[in-house]
Homo-oligomer: A and B are copies of this chain.
Amino acid sequence: MIDGVKRTVRVDLGERSYDILIGRSILSGLGEAFKTLFPSSEAVIITDSNVAGLHLDTAEASLREVGVDPYVIVMEPGEKSKSYKGLMKAADAVLDSKLERGDIVIALGGGVIGDLAGFVAGIVRRGMRFIQVPTTLLSQVDSSVGGKTGINTSHGKNLIGLFNQPHLVLADTAVLDTLTPRDFKAGYAEVAKYGLINDPDFFEWLERHWQGIFDGGPEREEAIARSCQAKADVVAADEKEADQRALLNLGHTFGHALEGMAEYDAERIVHGEGVAIGMVLAHEFSSRLGLCDAAVTDRVVAHLQAVGLPTHIRDIPGQLPKVDLLMDYIAQDKKVSRGNLNFILTRGLGQSFVEKGVEPAAVRAFLEEKLG
């Protein structure tokens, strides 16, 4: 559809199917893609002030080239925009724009903007269509695939929201050159996750090629496409997370608890770092339960350390968390059902599975040992 697209991943969800276009510097093709899909629609861009400073001009210019003058909504950067307050601000701004139900919301930003704008698109005038333009590695390989949108409340993260599929995802891999090394690494944790879920060949490929991904070589498009395809396959099989989709949460139960105990303070830990440590914990816990060879865990730790990711709870700056606090967060997790704890465990490299009914006492003993 547009120049520079190196890979296209189709997310196959019947009438809600859509394409993910992946390539270097394809943001400048946004207008062309827009006009092809929505020849007579207007657009509203929802972004944050950080991303606006870097990429808004390119996006706007591209839309203007095809005769679309977008209305622009700039949110404050950071997780705090993913809130009732941010929702009201963004939704009211879309209504201010006077756009109509057939017009298009464009989410230009990372996971926060994608989750917020996708939710807003789903509820303004009972549903407008939307395009995701993810600008972080994390959002390109994770939050832009699968249609999970929403906000956080005082009860926890992502507890209010919708399954709402975009009509197009445009993943410009050159945009990732503007990320801090820390943010790039955090996103990479989710890339490695796809190998660890069920694709040992991909994990091996990552062990050999991760430097090319970080350097912006063609390996970057390859890794993003394989990650999107992996997620798309799971989502196509289980859109509403009845079962298999839970595998995508490998490392996330522990990870969310670590983010929670740090009060989501990005100075201490960001989501991808929580996932990295959480994946290591999931492997270690699997080993402790006699499910997984310790050598596999060592290999996972070695790779995550090689790219510079944290792998131990004590890698998080600040005080070590209390086990009780972590257990509280684990019990609150959405993956809990009727008091049993659901965990994603593994039987080996790329052999993850959903284990329902893990005993809380076993988790507690494991964490006490880790933090002892």
Contacts and interface: CB of A to CB of B under 8 A. Distances in A.
Contacts of A101: 334
Copies in the complex: 2
Mostly helix, strand, loop or mixed at chain A's interface?
A: mixed
A337 B122 CA distance: 20
B84 A122 contact: no
Contacts of A38: none
Interface residues on A, range: 20 to 34
Interface in A340-355: none
Interface in A82-125: 84, 88, 91-92, 95-96, 100-102, 119, 122-125
A40 to B, nearest CB: 9
Contacts of A92: 153-155
A88 B95 contact: no
A148 to B, nearest CB: 7
A162 interface: yes
A160 B122 CA distance: 9
Interface of A: 84, 88, 91-92, 95-96, 100-102, 119, 122-127, 148, 150, 153-156, 158-163, 240, 334, 336-338
* 5 cross-chain pairs, A with B, having the tightest CB-CB distances, nearest first: A95-B155, A126-B161, A123-B160, A84-B88, A126-B163
10 contacts: A91-B153, A92-B153, A92-B154, A95-B156, A100-B338, A122-B162, A123-B150, A126-B148, A126-B158, A127-B240
